[in-house]
Amino acid sequence: MASRSVEFHLTMKAPRAAVFAWLGDHEKFGSLLPGRTKRIVDGDGPGGVNGPGSIRRVSFGIGYTDEKVTAVVPGEYVEYTVIKGGPVKNHLGRIRLKDSADGGTEIDYRIEFDPAIPFLGLPTEMLVRSIIGGGLAKLRRRLEAA
């Protein structure tokens, strides 16, 4: 069990397909975050090049993190893990989407991890919360303005 958990539960006034088009695509989702995100290995199966087996490199400053997609249900679910870099180990990210009653999309985004260096757990959690929270806020502004 991971020692740290970051959760986001929100609803966007946008169809699920539009939300998934951003959260299920490495480069589009990466454009919402600081740094640079690039798919470095193509996946296959559900999700196509962004599907299982695909790897994205998230670069920031002189460091980077490689994240591998482990499961995709197009339009509904993405699961990924950090395989290299970053201040975490035993990382698991899960994004679940479902239709909301008002025609929008409910997002349940959970990230669990162990800090690579124990005393950096809280600062790492706060950084993840800030980066992903900021990215989701940016996505909301883009989709709800469209």
Other CB atoms closer than 10 Å to residue 143's CB: what's the count? 18
For 63, what's the count of Cα atoms within 13 Å in the CB-facing half-sphere? 6
Q: Report d(CA 109, CA 93) in Å as an integer.
A: 7
Query: Which residue type is seen at 108?
Result: D
Q: What are phi and psi of 63, to 5 degrees?
A: -105, 170
CA 142 to the chain's CA centroid: 17
pLDDT in tens, the chain (146 residues): 458 999 999 999 999 999 999 999 999 999 999 989 999 999 998 889 999 999 999 998 888 999 999 999 999 999 999 999 988 999 999 999 999 999 999 999 999 999 998 889 999 999 999 999 999 999 999 999 97
- Using CB atoms within 10 A of its CB, is residue 139 exposed (0-12), middle (13-18) or buried (19+)? buried
For the chain, domains (ranges, CATH) are 4-34+73-145 (3.30.530.20)
SS3 28: helix
Element (H, E) at 128: helix 121-145
Report the predicted TM-score, pTM, of the whole model to 2 decimal places.
Answer: 0.94
Q: Phi first, then psi: what are they for 22, rounded to 5°? A: -90, -50
